[in-house]
Structure formats: structure tokens, C-alpha cells
Structure 1
Amino acid sequence: MRILLVSSSEAETVYLHKAFRESAHSVHAADNLRYALYLAAHEEFDAIVISTVGVNLMAALFDALPELAQLPRAPAVIVALASGTSQDRARVLRAGADACFVQPYSFLEMQERMLALHRASLARSAQPSVDALSLRLDPLTRDLVEDGKRVLMTKREYLLIECLLRQANAPVARDQLIRYAWPDKEDVDPSSVNLVVSRLRRKLETHGFRARVETISRYGYQLASR
């Protein structure tokens, strides 16, 4: 999943960024809600996690939540309050959040709620391009699945195939793949992308998958079926 992480706490940003990355998510961080709104309006995210919201930020949060809830691609919006009552959580949910936690919270529970919201979103959209390929990613095992066949992905392979799946049967620019699969790197050698694609192709062929990764000359790659 592609996650936009919003937090004014450097320690919380470091912790969640590391935890989400280790769970094979692509994470982009923003340190304020105004910048997060700009990013969410111009880029596609599966979830927006707003963490460590204190009393001094509640007004800004309630201003931002309706706008986030109305984004055309409808990412899941998850809020973690620094402190609060059940009434505070209810207000956050009414304002447009899909889930609300209060510290101390369980990262595992947050991630499972985020994945459940993502599954529900995919079911509602019934993405025809993905269904046509009979491919899906299992976030719990980090497997790529096709018609009952499974193959384990590395973290980079998982993120790269997830990016390709979002635009199955359509070309995806190499720069877009780099931003998605290497969000923690500022300068990525194109040969790194070629290496991951080569490994993916070998795995797909070895395990008898019908899907294949095609090269689009001078542009990038495309996920297609045989």
C-alpha cells in the first residue's frame, strides 16, 4: 500500500515510517496537514495516517478531515490522537476519519484496520484490470497470488509489483516505479529497477504465472497477461 504519513512529532514519524516500511508499504511523510492536503490532491495514496494529534492541532484536523474524506480516490483516513476520550474519537470519526486511535495504541491493530479498509475499498471498486490478470498481493505473507499459485516477494519486489498492479495492462513510468518502491531513497540507479524486474520475471516464469512484466522502450514497464 502507498501511505501518506502526517505527524508533527519527529520521533513518531521515525517510528511509524520504519514500521510501515518493514511491513512492505511505500511511505511518504509530511510534517503538517496543509502540505498533506496538497500531496493527497495531486498524488494517489491508499491510506493517510495522521499521528500524534494534540489539543493544539485539533482545529486544523477538523478543518482538514472533510477535505480528505472528499478526495476522488478515497484513501482510508486514520487518525491517532495524543490523548482523548471516546467523545473525542467520535467527533474525529464524524468529521471524516475512517478510524481513530488514542495513544498508547497498537501498531498491529492500526495496520490491520488499514488493510481491512483497503480490502473493502478494492471490493467496492472491483478493479477490472487487476481481476483480468487474476493477480493479487497477500500483505500478511508478502506473496503474489495467481489462481492458487503463490510466490514470496522481497520488499522491493512487493512494492514494485503493487505499483504495476495499480495500472495493470497500462505502461508505468520508470520514475513512478522508483518513487513508489524506493520512497526512502533520494537517488536510485536505474539499474536497481532493472535488477528487481529481472528477479520478478524469473519468479513469474519459474512458478508458471501467466502474468508478465513487459518493457516499454524509453519509458518504463507494464504488467500484462499472456
Structure 2
Amino acid sequence: MTRLLVVEDDPDLSLALRVLLTRSGYEITLAADGREALRRLFAERPALMVLDLLLPGLDGWEVLDRTRDMSDLPVLVLSGLGGVDDRVRGLRSGADDYLVKPFAQAELLARVEALLRRTGPGHWAGEAVEEDMRLVPERRSALWHGTEIRLSDIEYRLLQLLVRNRGRVVTTEQLLDQVWDDSTAIGRDRVKFAVLRLRRKLRYAGGPHAPDPIDAVRGLGYRYDNGPAAGNGAG
């Protein structure tokens, strides 16, 4: 059964969502605040998260940001914040969809189903997902073959984006846009030299027998692949 995490601090709405989604065949985990949401996220690895933004303590914006540090888990924001700026901010912060309260039950179910069809299982960049790699967002570092590597902010964001898209090529233009916030795609050498620095740190930490998990795909970009054939790319 597909597990969903519902993060909602209103007990009546939380109960209504649990009943609605359970009747639709989902297994539901509830969280009433941001810190509980992150604990549930780590412990249970749901297939999708329905996230309120106005939460006590750690708010939904921070939950969304931390979720994107470790996973590309599908996130449906369900919020009373219905302004254009709020919706744009939510989508730019990594939400896959945004639904404003009050909402029609049929529309909520349709959006959940569409996200699960479109995105598939979430890939996790955190503990117990990659056998030899774990990102540590609170320290801006990575554990590679058991050794912690301290990274610059650019190196961390670069590795995070590659791991989050593991197995898929991330183009140089995408890296410039999402890591350097440079949509002009000028300065491609910055990507090349940052990847070289990152590879050097991984090689030093992993030792002579560890693979190089970052493949250079000539003319396109880079791919994180920690499989048996990792490390065959040049550049």
C-alpha cells in the first residue's frame, strides 16, 4: 500500500484528510508540526507528502527546504496561502504542486494520483539510500565511504543536485542555473573546475579502491552514478 505523509496542524482537517485518503487506498502517516514531519520523513520514507505551510515551530517552508536537501519526494503543498506570490514561491522552492484551501476532495485526490503517476518513487540523498554516500545538510558536508568531506557551498549544492538526479545527466546549463543561479549559461568553465575539485575530494576520502561516482558526459554535462560502472567518464 502506498504511504503518504500528511503534515497538517489543524486536527479536524488532519482527520478529514486521513479518512479521505485512507478510503482511497492509501496508508497515511500524520504529522502536526514541522519537526515531527521531518522525523516521520526520515523514519518512514513516504511516497508523497501533503504539506501545510503555516505550521507551529518549524514552518512548512523550512520543511520543504530540508526535504529538498535529501530527496526528490513528490510534495503537494496544501495551504491557505493563496496569493500568486505564495504559489510561485512554493513551486520555486521545490513543491511539485500547490493546492489552495478550501479545496474540493475530488481535486485533491486527482492531484495526488497525478503526482504519483508522473514522478514515480522518490529518490533519497540521505542516510540508507546510497550505500556509500550520505549528504549532511546541517554541516554542508558529505559522508563518502565513511569519511566526512567538508564542502564549499557551491560544491555541496553541486553534489546535492547530481545525487538527487542520480542516473540522469544534468546538463552544464542546468548546473549553472540551479547551483550558481546563473540562467545566462555563461562561464561553463566554473562547472568544470568545481567538478574537478569535488572529484578530488571524493577520491581522497574514498581511497584508491573507491569508484569515481561522477561521470562526465561529453558535450552534455555530468551524471552521478554509484553503480559498478561508475567512474568511466572523462573530463
In the superposition, the TM-score normalised over structure 2's length comes to 0.47
- Report which of the two has the higher share of helix: 1
Q: Which has the higher contact order (CA 8 A, sep 6+)?
A: 1
Q: TM-score, normalised by structure 1?
A: 0.49
| Structure with the greater alpha carbon radius of gyration | 2
Which protein is richer in strand relative to its size? 1
